[in-house]
Structure 1
Amino acid sequence: MGKTMKAAVYEKPGKITIKDVPVPEINDSEVLIKVTYTGICGTDWSIYTGKYSADKLPLIAGHEFSGTIAEIGKEAIGLSIGDRVTADINMGCGHCFYCRKGETLLCPEFSQLGIHIDGAFAEYVKVPWKQVHIIPEAMDMLEAAFIEPTSCVIHSMKALDMKAGSSIAILGSGLGSLHAAAAKQRGAAPIIVIGRNKERLELAKKLGADIVISTEEYPNPVARVKELTNGRGADYVIESVGTSETYEQAFEMLRPGGTLAAFGITGDDDFMRINPAKLVLSEKKITSSCAGVGTDWSDAITLISHGRIDPKPLFSKIMPLDKMEEALNLLQKDRSLVKIFISPVVGSEVVDL
């Protein structure tokens, strides 16, 4: 395009600058997307604080986005200028052992848009055309910007392979509420969500939780989960907080023979203590997932567009691009807020959702 655009550039830990940068130039295998909305993820806070991807700075972060196609490379098939789209952010080399097995997330050259390479906290973002998903008419652009986190939850549920009629405990009431919605679709009962914030726990009920447990009332919720499951513990447990303490609680509230899904990301120096004898004798199983990829994205689009998962109760605010840093800090200050969307097209007003 040979033009400039506004972008929120993470210059270094603790510093974001709103500045004019060149509009990305696409090659024949890429498309340029005019951004409508980009959701703020916990990963964006980790990048801001230097906990994650500090070696990639300066960087335009932002990976949960929707927009319209502005330019198309010559190799792109099935796409048109003006299409409403989002894009799978996960990219592998395409030829290594893992990529050839369809395990893109394990590729040694794995990279994510907005985390390792420039993303969507900007007016435009470029992506490989094969990563692009067209948004159905039944889905609005805010929902489309929430496909990425929904795909992550779906990927986790697939790894868990939960059976209908099973009990599940979910630690965390942010994305944990979305896990509850997905668990309801798979026929889980009861669905127990554990969290600290009263407003978030109420949202978890709206999205599918049968029972919520406040850690203000139950600082160690293990005994309460066992009480609710006839003393056994839950058939399945999802850890969606990301601390050593909650991982250890998750293992303890899991029944013998049950499965724990590791979802929350901890720091590099955090460790989970497990007694190996207890693990062996109880035949508990642990699985893990780190992102939604491939068919997880099309499944997320199907579930949202047909109303099987309604993420809108989690949507808190829309804020303009030039308030990027303010929005990040607001999410840390007010834990009743779940999802704030940044938009380069809304002017200067903050919109409450």
Structure 2
Amino acid sequence: MKTMRAQVLTEPYHFELKEVPVPEINEDEVLVKVKYCGICGSDWGSYTGKYADEVACIPLTTGHEVYGTIAELGKNAKGLHVGDRVTYDICTPCGTCYHCRIGEPLLCSDFKQIGIHTDGGFAEYVKVPWKNIYVVPDEVSDEKAAFVEPLTACLNASHKMDCTIGRSVVVIGAGLGIMHAQLAKLRGAAPVIVIDANADRLKMAKEVVADYTINVKEVDPIEEVMRLTNGVGADFVLEAVGSSRTYEQAFQMVRKGGKVEAFGICAEDDLASLPPVEFVTSEKKISGSCAGIGYDWGDALTLMKYGRVDPMPLISMIVPLEELEDTLKEIRTNPKLVKVLVSPEAKERTVLYK
């Protein structure tokens, strides 16, 4: 029996590096050799036991932002070859429930994601349905390919927000929010404003995409957005922090008739206060988006291939598989870390941020 190294979440707040069997694939699956697996904010939620449906899956190998190469093919796999550079759609909706059948698979009644509800990429190998696989173009580097999954989530939010050319967009949060801002600028939004409390991240946002940045430690963000929009308020506000306070601020800084896009995930008991009268008299709107699915992966790869978005400024560090748990904690305390890639092949960490 072939074995591999895997970081297994055995209980909340405890990963155990184990030698486990390499996954056996069926006729409709492929085995992917993991090169990189990015650490997502939701991985901290899984680690701390924040999400009840994920805790129910423990013991579990988490990790869902995967890039690798095909190591083995099931006999039904078509158009793929051993050695192909790949990433994959992590979503495995049931396909038969009400939501799936009306074209809302992200709301599937039995929704599962690889690396969140089933074993994922913080390991040397992961098995995936072959139909979920996307071949990575030669023009997309290995590191960028590990950023496809978070980009798909941003793409879904961009579709849902549906900002129009020449309209103002505010993004609250300068982590993955920088990618949201890039997509807004691609859609012709103007100005694009990014808000955060981290000066280093705001500097990055300004260098990469933002027309204006707002440091909440220096000014009132609502007053500053009003100033920058001539007292009207922003046409669109995307919340990418996951806090009731920033959701309340988003609703206050969006203009009459404007739209708030909900992206940041709050704790279940973290409730925001939004005045219902403004839904009526000011016709303010809110929509939500939770993940990418399906051809969001193809679109993300195309945008990277042609240089329309560049995730490299957000990739802060590459660490060995053995350092996963320590790095999860480090991300919470080191403001310079945005995206960290975990690699089963790495022998030591590589720091990319300045």
TM-score, normalising length: structure 1: 0.98
1:57 & 1:38 partners in 2: Cα distance?
Answer: 19
Corresponding residue number in structure 2 for 1:106: 107
State the secondary structure of the residue aligned to 2:56.
Answer: helix
CA contact (8 A) 1:170 1:192 kept: yes
Q: Distance in 2 between matches of 1:216 and 1:54?
A: 36
Per-residue CA deviation, residues 2-35 of structure 1 (Å, 9 max, x unaligned), is: 3110001111111111110111110111100000
Equivalence map 1:256-271=2 (5 Å): 256-271=256-271
Structural mapping, 1:123-202, within 5 Å: 123-202=124-203
Structure 1 residue 235, shift from structure 2 partner: 0.3
State the partner residue of 1:285: 285
> Which AA in structure 2 matches 1:41?
C
CA offsets 1:78-124 (integer angstroms, 9 cap, x no match): 11100000000011011222222332111101101111111000000
Contact 1:320/1:346 (8 A) holds in 2: yes
| Corresponding position: 1:89 with 2:90 | yes
Give CA-to-partner distance per residue, 1:143-166, whole Å, 9 cap, x none.
111000001001001001110101
The code of the aligned residue for 2:229 comes to T
Counterpart code for 1:306: Y
Deviation, 1:330, is 1.2
Q: How does 1:218-257 map to 2 (within 5 A)?
A: 218=219, 220-257=220-257
The alpha carbon displacement at 1:206 in A equals: 2.5
Secondary structure, aligned partner of 1:269: coil
Give, in whole Å, the separation in 1 of the partners of 2:185 and 2:155: 12
**Structure 2: distance between partners of 1:80 and 1:100:** 32
1:336 and 1:253 map into 2 onto residues whose CA distance is 28
Question: 1:277, 1:321 → 2: CA distance?
Answer: 51
The question of whether the paired residues in 2 share the 8 Å contact of 1:166 and 1:189 is answered with: yes
Q: Which residue pairs with 2:5 in the alignment? A: 6
Tell me which amino acid in the other structure corresponds to 1:338.
Answer: V
Cα distance per residue 1:53-98 (max 9 Å; x no partner): 2221111010001000001111111111000000000110112222
Number of residues of Structure 1 aligned to a counterpart in Structure 2: 350
Distance in structure 1 (CA, Å) of the matches to 2:96 and 2:49: 31
Matched position secondary structure for 2:83:
coil
- Specify the code of the residue in structure 1 equivalent to 2:223: A
Work out whether residues 239 and 250 of structure 1, in 8 Å CA contact, stay in contact via their aligned partners in 2: yes
The CA deviation string for residues 222-257 of structure 1, in whole angstroms up to 9 with x for no partner, is 111011101011000001010111000000000001
Q: Which string of whole-angstrom CA distances, capped at 9 and with x for unpartnered residues, describes residues 293-348 of structure 1? A: 1121111111111100011000111000001111111111102210110000122x
Who is 1:217 aligned against?
218
One-letter identity of the residue aligned with 1:236? F
Q: Is the 8 A contact 1:123 1:344 kept in 2?
A: yes
Spell out the pairing of 1:294-309 with structure 2 (5 A cutoff).
294-309=294-309
- The secondary structure found in structure 2 opposite 1:110 is coil
Unaligned 5+ segments in structure 2 are none
Q: 2:204, 2:88 → 1: CA distance?
A: 27
Q: CA deviation at 1:37?
A: 0.3
Contact 1:206 1:313 in 2 (8 A): no
Aligned to 1:50: 49
For residue 36 of structure 1, report the CA deviation from its aligned partner. Answer: 0.2
**1: CA distance, partners of 2:102 / 2:67:** 29
Runs ≥4 in structure 1, deviation > 3 angstroms? none
* Structure 1 portions without partners, runs of 5+: none
Distance 1:55 1:11 in 2: 11
Partner of 2:20: 21
Q: Distance in 1 between matches of 2:71 and 2:242?
A: 38
